[in-house]
Amino acid sequence: MAADWIKMRTDLYRDPKVCVIADALLAPSGDLARYVNQNLQRDMAVTRNVTRNATVGALVTVWGVMRLRGKRNGNDLACAHASLEVIDDIADLPGLGNAMAMVGWVVETESGITFPRFFDDYNADPTEKKHSSAAERQRRYRERQKESQDGVPPENCDVTRDVTRDVTLRPREEKSREEKKCATLSRFAEFWEAYPVKKGKADAERKWKSAKLDAIADTIIADVKRRLAEDRQWRDGYIPHGSTYVNGRGWEDGIESSRNSGVANGADAIPDFMRGAI
């Protein structure tokens, strides 16, 4: 798990104490200059702005480590058995500890080092934040429990949250009930029972519901019964599947009545294939 974030002021780069620390680090007689001269065999050559940027990065590193490793003492942060040289090692910047002590950002004592007013000026205690969050969650939980028992919103409760919860949940529940009611009252089952060729039921039922055919269910069922009694093709066994009948709105088609067989005494007695030939 990643460590906690540390706050940093956006104007820290221009803080007067940062400028003083940068100047102390740039001093020819300072620890950083001696380190460069001894290890690189050359004089330190770096601009003041670069040193200020390096100072800001080093401060954030030191404060972050010490906040996790140290202990709170009032508004101060204390780190036992540490020294100013430890600060140099953490930041990998020789002379930083002495420079911070010079501006009052750290004090070295016999028992270790202390960062005065650390939690007032720079950071929040990570444990305090966790405890505060836990306490806030407990408070909200107790309010919800009290509200559910008494039916009275507690003081300072999140009224907007409660209203939003009611608005978003209740219509959904009502819609679900309406859908179940509609499913129960659907007259598709009556139609399917009356229809002779029970093929494609699922497709027919989807079309029935999407077209809202319950409103004309009586008309459709009456048409099915009439065709079974009067339609010549249906009586001869040429009946479309149930899904075809519903999708094609077969009740809107004309009925081809049965014709009497016998002598051709009129137009109705002429076979279909001979119509128009005479």
Q: For the chain, give the percent of residues with pLDDT over 70.
A: 70
Any idea which residue has 């709105």 for tokens? Answer: 249
CB 37 within 8 A of CB 15: no
**Across 22-36, 70-84, 235-249, least confident range:** 22-36
Position 10 confidence tier, pLDDT thresholds 50, 70, 90: confident
CB 259 within 8 A of CB 236: no
pLDDT at position 267 is 46
Q: For the chain, give the percent of residues with pLDDT over 90.
A: 30
Q: Which residue ranges make up each domain of the chain?
A: 12-124, 125-157, 185-258
Tens of pLDDT along 254-265? 888 765 444 344
Please give the DSSP secondary-structure letter assigned to residue 208: H
Residue 166 has pLDDT above 70, yes or no: no
CB 230 within 8 A of CB 255: yes
The class level of CATH for 12-124 reads mainly alpha
Tens of pLDDT along 200-234? 999 999 999 999 999 999 999 999 999 999 999 89
Q: What is the bridge-based pairing of β-strands 76-80 and 112-115?
A: antiparallel
Residue 167 has pLDDT above 50, yes or no: no
CB 112 within 8 A of CB 118: no
Residue 153 has pLDDT above 60, yes or no: no
Closest-CA residue to 123 (of 58, 52, 72, 53): 72
Q: Is this structure's pTM higher than 0.95? A: no
CB 49 within 8 A of CB 107: no
Position 45 confidence tier, pLDDT thresholds 50, 70, 90: low
pLDDT at position 108 is 92
CA distance linking residue 53 with residue 13, whole number of Å: 7
**Tokens describing residue 198:** 């029970």
Q: Which long-range contacts (CB under 8 A, 24 or more apart) does 32-41 make?
A: 32/93, 32/94, 32/95, 34/94, 35/94, 35/95
pLDDT at position 44 is 63
Output 54 or 11, whichever has higher pLDDT: 54
pLDDT at position 260 is 46
**Tokens describing residue 165:** 């919860």
pLDDT at position 206 is 94
pLDDT at position 240 is 93
**Tokens describing residue 150:** 């008494």
**78 by DSSP, 3-state: which?**
strand
pLDDT at position 265 is 43
Burial class (CB in 10 A: 0-12, 13-18, 19+), 119: middle
pLDDT at position 4 is 61
**271 by DSSP, 3-state: which?**
coil
Tens of pLDDT along 88-135? 899 888 889 899 999 998 999 888 999 898 877 655 555 555 666 777
pLDDT at position 11 is 76
